[in-house]
Structure 1
Amino acid sequence: MLFNSLHFLLFFIFVTTFYYTLPYKFRWVLLLAASAYFYASFIPVYLVILGVVIVIDYFAGIWIENSQGRKRLFLLILSLIANVGFLAFFKYFDFLNNNITYALQLIGQKNEMPPLREMFPSLILPIGLSFHTFQSMSYTIEVYRGNQKAEYNFGIYSLYVLFYPQLVAGPIERPQNVLWQFREKFAYDWENVRTGLTLIAWGMFKKVVIADRLALVTDAAYGDVQNQSPAALLIATFFYCFQIYCDFSGYSDIAIGTARVMGFKLMTNFNAPYFAESISEFWKRWHISLSTWFRDYVYIPLGGNRRSKSRVYFNTLTVFLLSGLWHGADWKFIIWGCIHGIYLILAQILNTHAIFRPGHSGKGGSLPVRIFHMIWTFSLVALAWIFFRANSVSEAIEIIEKIFTFSDYGIPEIAMNNGEFIFSLGLLFLLVIKDKYFAKYIPDTGMFWVLFTLTCFCCYLFGVFTSNQFIYFQF
């Protein structure tokens, strides 16, 4: 079930209305059933897979809490292996197998293991597998650390993993932020409803009006790289920066807003990332729930920045290589993560040198200097996005080579007429103004109905409904 569908609209209205009419003690049951239905509406059989993971981590949490010494660590490791095992099997088996095949071919050998999709032709990557796997892992890790009590109510724990607003593409929540809320007695609160509906409407606008409109250009250009001019590829890359931002942050807004209407508060996942003045700041603003997950569960346990410089560089690169791999079983994602890791390492190495250092922040400087650093940071991020969006590493390299030829920059032919192009630039200007000055603006009741109605009307009138799926569903 997609957020940008009539199916979800009817589902949301029914569940929310029923939620507020039920006695408090039955509400979690409704949400659990609704969440299971929501996930099963994609591919029902994968609800079974998610159920197995839930059972494993439910008992792991209880056993870890009631164990002592090394047994606690042993149970945690078993839980993590189970979670990573499911993720590796469905998402990375073919990637690893293909690389083994290539390596064996170099020495004249043959890999007898067939691809997973060849053995099971109907097998599809479960929707949101990377997201709910990381959320499940955070639970057992926090129980092991003593920051979270084990949840003994199996239904409540299942709801923590399955909670439909953020099940498919986050935010990736921590148990101490969410579990207690499922027992909270949330009374109907117009402020929560107004805040939630504002987020939903704006998130939908970003998705169907901005992201899906920009996708018309990026899909056409990146789908036929050889026949594109440098200017067309440059425009497509610029558009993709905002397409992926509006698509993913739009999903997060809808998820957070949907939860807020019922009283639940989920963590902020985006904070105007393209206003960042350094790569380090960018990652404090982009996909915050994932970047903090890697910080808390990978970077800090590896030693963080408390070790030697070489070890800090290693820790940084490890985190971003894993982040790239998390996004997809393809070398292009690994290279994308590696690029960001290198940016941050260079920022640390060049911390006292060169105005062009990737990690420099112009905060406190003059406005022109700050704008320069915003543009510089955006350019570095855009360059990395090429690997993320391209169909392959070779195509990404070809795109970069074309863009940096600095020739043939005539009037580009793009999959959009002049009027649509100007309208798209206007939408991006609106997005920048909203992120800069009205990011946390929630209108009062009178203005809310005007803006909410206007936003919904614009979604209907200007929305592009040919590309419905959210980009991060594939992760």
Structure 2
Amino acid sequence: MTFTSWQFGAFVAIIFGAYYLPPFRTFQVQLLVLASLLFYGYGQPALLPLLAVAVFGTYLLLVLALRNRRCWLPVGIVFNLLLLAFFKYKFLFFSPASADLTGVTPVDFLLRLPLPIGISFFVFHNISLLVDLTKRKVSPPDLKSVFLYIIFFPQLVSGPITRAEMFMPQIKPKYFFDVPFIDAGKWILTGFFFKLYVANNLNEMTSYMDFPLYETLRTQDRWLLVFLYSYQIYADFFGYSAIAIGLGLLFGYRLPVNFNLPYIAASFSEFWTRWHISLSNWLRTYLYIPLGGNRHGAWRTYLNLMIVMGLGGLWHGAGFSYLTWGLMHGLLLVAERPFLARLQSIDSSVFRAVRIGFVFVGVTMLWIFFKLPNFDHAVGYLQGMFTPSPSPNPPKLFYDLALLYSLPVMIQHLLPSRRFERALGAIEPYLYGAMAALMYLEAGPDTAFIYFQF
């Protein structure tokens, strides 16, 4: 069940209608847990037992870790990391095409289970729960609250990754008259607009980046499509996150903002404070700082950055392309770090614009390794951007449509925020009306959210 399906709309309407009824007020948490299980099991019912094992196992280890943190917290973290590693990286060692993987029927059954949707996100929630609550040495929360935090359906599949210490205090009775309908509506409408109008339409064009289709492209078209994919992946993931935030508000929960205009970042470190913010915060809190952060000298800091970004790349998938993507971002963070203070001290809008352009082009070029998980395909695409194309019959790409579908991302990033906010008051109803009309009349062919595969 995807956010863009009519079944999901009906599902949310029914749950929302029951959620605030007085008879259900004492059962709101249970209702959301049940709704989340229905949402997750709609497409993969066979994987509901796995979800139960992950939650019950984490809860049991949480109770034990609250009694003895030194002993049981590492066990809880390892349990979740092994769960993630088994499903995400098993086919590095076993071929899915093999008729007989191990010869042991129960093991073969587990190995043939598909990658559970959202496993990376609920594993990260599990680890946050274990670390945050045992650090504060609180009494064990009730099981239904743990279930809700881990599998709350708006954020279950693709985040935002919410820290336990932020979410758990919000679990309390909710009232209909406290719902910020206007804010929720704006988030949801904006999210659907960026997904349906921008991302889905751009996907029709960027599909030519896939192998072997990219071999038919002209050199200039390869360049165009890389930039279009940069806009697409932002619109797709920002759209999902915006919808999730809006849905959370409808049910009385505030989820963290996940994007803050990442393509106007003037450094690669600033980019990672603006892109997928909840993941960046998670990696910094639970990996970079425990590794030592920047507390042990420059070279140790550089090593920590490379480790964190390399693992962040592998988190997205078991492929050399993802590792390359992560390590290249790590290398860029390391390379700019000694000069960052000096660069930031130069007070020039022109110089800042040049830096923004450099960072945007660098981030965009690295998206090639993200779009093409097969490393050879990614390198082949990249090489074709710098050599003349021999293709006698290239596909026709409509440059005017490319600009039209990319324009919302450009406008959102390039308009000065304060000036835009002042002007927005008068035109806001017309703006949201236009967005609603465009996403209905000019929606692209339905496609899954990009981050569903992670």
Q: Does 1:222 align with 2:210?
A: yes
Partner of residue 381, structure 2: 399
Is contact 1:94-1:115 (8 Å) kept? no
Distance 1:115 1:312 in 2: 45
Residue 441 (structure 2) aligns with: 461
Q: CA deviation at 1:282?
A: 0.1
Deviation, structure 1 residue 339: 0.2
C-alpha deviation, 1:40, in angstroms: 0.7
Structure 1 contact 231–410 (Cα < 8 Å) conserved: no
Is the 1:267–1:289 contact (alpha carbons within 8 Å) kept by the matching residues of 2? Answer: yes
**Aligned position for 1:347:** 336
Question: What's the CA shift for 1:142?
Answer: 1.2
Letter in 2 for 1:294: L
Letter aligned with residue 424 of structure 1: Y
Give distance in 2, aligned partners of 1:182 and 1:157: 10
Distance 1:159 1:442, change over 3 A: farther
Q: Helix, strand or coil for the counterpart of 1:285?
A: coil
Moved more, 230-239 or 412-421: 412-421
- Residue 455 (structure 1) shift: 2.5
Alpha-carbon distance in 2 for matches of 1:62, 1:435: 49
Q: CA deviation at 1:24?
A: 2.8
Q: CA offset at residue 298 of structure 1?
A: 0.7
Task: Give the match for residue 267 of structure 1.
Answer: 256
Of residues 197, 215, 231, the one that matches 2:185 is 197
Which residue pairs with 1:246 in the alignment?
Answer: 235
Residues 76 and 140 of structure 1 are in contact (CA less than 8 Å); yes or no, is this contact kept in structure 2?
yes
Q: Which residue of the partner structure matches residue 47 of structure 2?
A: 46
| Structure 2 equivalent of residue 108 of structure 1 | none
When residues 66 and 289 of structure 1 are mapped into structure 2, their CA distance, relative to the original with a 3 A threshold, is: same
- Find the counterpart in structure 2 of residue 20 from structure 1: 20
- Kept in 1, the 8 Å contact 2:313–2:323? The answer is yes
Q: 1:54 is matched by which residue type in structure 2?
A: V
Alignment of 1:212-361 (within 5 A): 212-223=200-211, 224-351=213-340, 360-361=343-344
Residue 418 of structure 1 deviates from its aligned partner by 4.6
Alpha-carbon distance in 1 for matches of 2:190, 2:260? 14
Q: CA deviation at 1:49?
A: 0.5
**Counterpart residue number, 1:356:** none
Tell whether the 8 Å contact from 1:73 to 1:144 is kept in structure 2 after alignment. no
* Other structure's SS at 1:170 match: coil
Matched-pair contact (CA < 8 Å) for 2:187–2:242:
yes
CA RMSD across the alignment: 3.0
User: Structure 1, residues 236-275: CA drift from partner, whole Å, max 9, x if none?
Assistant: 1001111111101110000001111222111111100001
| 1:473 equivalent in structure 2 | 452
Cα distance between partner residues in 2 of 1:220 and 1:189:
47
Q: Which residue of 2 aligns with 1:2?
A: 2
* Deviation of 1:430 (Å): 3.4
Give yes or no for contact 2:309–2:326 (8 Å, CA) kept in 1: yes
Q: 2:354 aligns with which of 363, 369, 372?
A: 372
- Structure 1 residues 270-279 or 387-396, which shifts more? 387-396
The residue that corresponds to 2:158 in the other structure is 169
- Matched residue, 1:92: 89
Partner amino acid, structure 1, of 2:405: S
Aligned to 2:76: 79
Query: Which residue number in structure 2 is paired with residue 423 of structure 1?
Result: 404
Q: CA deviation at 1:424?
A: 2.4
Equivalent-residue separation in structure 1 for 2:14 and 2:422 (angstroms) = 28
Q: TM-score under structure 2 normalisation?
A: 0.90
Summarize the Cα distance change of 1:370–1:96 in structure 2 as closer, same or farther, 3 Å threshold: farther
One-letter code aligned to 2:437: F
Q: How big is the shift at 1:313?
A: 1.1
Structure 1 residue identity aligned to 2:131: I
**Residue 377 of structure 1: SS of its match in structure 2?**
helix
Amino acid at match of 2:451: Y
Q: Please report how far the alpha carbon of residue 206 of structure 1 lies from its aligned counterpart in structure 2 after TM superposition.
A: 0.5
Question: Quick one: distance in 2 between partners of 1:77 and 1:442?
Answer: 52
For each residue in 1:63-97, what CA deviation from the matched residue of structure 2 results, as whole angstroms up to 9, or x when unmatched?
22223xxxx22211111121111111111111245
User: Is the alpha carbon distance of 1:142 and 1:411 closer, same or farther for their aligned partners in structure 2, counting shifts above 3 Å?
Assistant: farther
Q: CA deviation at 1:56?
A: 1.1
Instruction: Give the whole-Å Cα distance in 2 for the aligned partners of 1:323 and 1:257.
Output: 27
**Judging changes above 3 Å, is the alpha-carbon distance between structure 1 residues 55 and 267 closer, same or farther for their aligned structure 2 residues?**
same
1:299, distance to aligned residue in structure 2 (A): 0.6
Structure 2 portions without partners, runs of 5+: 96-100
Provide the identity percentage.
31
> 1:19-53: CA deviations, max 9, x gaps?
12244322111111111111111201211101111
Pair 1:443–1:38, CA change in 2 (3 A) = farther
Aligned residues: 447
C-alpha distance 439-414 of structure 1, shift in aligned 2 (>3 A) = farther
Give yes or no for the alignment of 1:124 onto 2:114: yes
2:56 is matched with which residue?
Answer: 55
Consecutive unaligned residues in structure 1, runs of 5 or more: 99-111, 354-359
Contact 1:198/1:442 (8 A) holds in 2: no
- Residues 1:114 and 1:412: Cα distance change in structure 2 (over 3 Å): farther
Q: Once structures 1 and 2 are overlaid, which stretch shifts more, 447-456 or 342-351? A: 447-456
Q: 1:438 to 1:73 in 2, by over 3 A?
A: farther
